[in-house]
Amino acid sequence: MSDSSAKPSSLTAARFWPSWLLMGLGWLLSQLPYRLQMALGSWLGDIAYHVIGERRRVARINLKLAYPEMDEDERQSLLRAHFRSVGKGALETGICWWGRQSKVDRLTHIEGFEHLEAAATRGRGIILLSAHFTSLELGVRMAKPFLRELGYTTTAMYKAPHDPVVDHVMRTRREAHIGGASIPDDDVVSLLAALKRREAVWYAGDQKGDRRLSVLVDFFGQPARTHSAISRLARISRATVVPFFTLRRADGDGYRLIVKPPLDHFPSGDDRADAERINGIIEQVVAEDPAQYFWLHQRFKRKGHNPYKRR
């Protein structure tokens, strides 16, 4: 049995003390004023840029593939800004888990509440179609009051971290603030049950999948293996799919909770066309602030093609 399956009662063992100290530090940092947190996050991002060289290399390759029209100086500037955004994301995790609701509400600026209202009138579960932006941890917590007003419980799918202390804290704090029970990323039965109960489930649409559950379509002009599960989930559950993203405001005053119109004629019956449509929506939001998209994954790796392989 792996550490990730450890029960809460076993997490007081000495080998977990460093993880608890890290969680305690996260709680302390979550109590700082917001602008100080973001300044600290930028500083942490600058440190990470120099420390995690392999991730820096992956991000540099991704940016070169996605933005070939940029010169090297422009891409380098974007790369540094991205690492600062990742550093801010680490502090935002603390805000999500331990921040006061009054603080979260003050930082929230929703755009497109009418689209949530339109989705709610359909009387079905809602898939909050999102992607891996650096502020993603805050999004569902910020959306909870608006969805609760419409009669929806909110939850999210998640991939369990290897550290059982982090897993335990993440699940308990998310569930305390988001509403519904977190759903493991491989638990399709629970996901479908939540949608059939007319809940709103956050789901990242920019995941890679295996060949059985993915299609090869363009993403930023590059062929990328893209998960097709969302089409199948929407077909089985008859859920309404609503594009939903979280971006930091350019003025530094909190976050834009971006809600786009529910997807009509979705799924279309063509998984490839659906994936292309989703990728196009994500690209449009990334274009608003490319530094806030998570460029550290090997997104363009596929069978027979590995741009990340060292020559």
User: pLDDT digit string (tens) for 266-293?
Assistant: 999 999 999 999 999 999 999 999 999 9
User: pLDDT digit string (tens) for 86-139?
Assistant: 999 999 999 999 999 999 999 999 999 999 999 999 999 999 999 999 998 899
User: pLDDT digit string (tens) for 193-250?
Assistant: 999 999 999 998 887 766 778 899 999 999 999 989 899 999 999 999 999 999 999 9
Q: How far apart are CA 152 and CA 129, in angstroms?
A: 16
pTM of the predicted structure, to 2 decimals: 0.91
Cβ atoms within 10 Å of 64's Cβ, excluding its own: 14
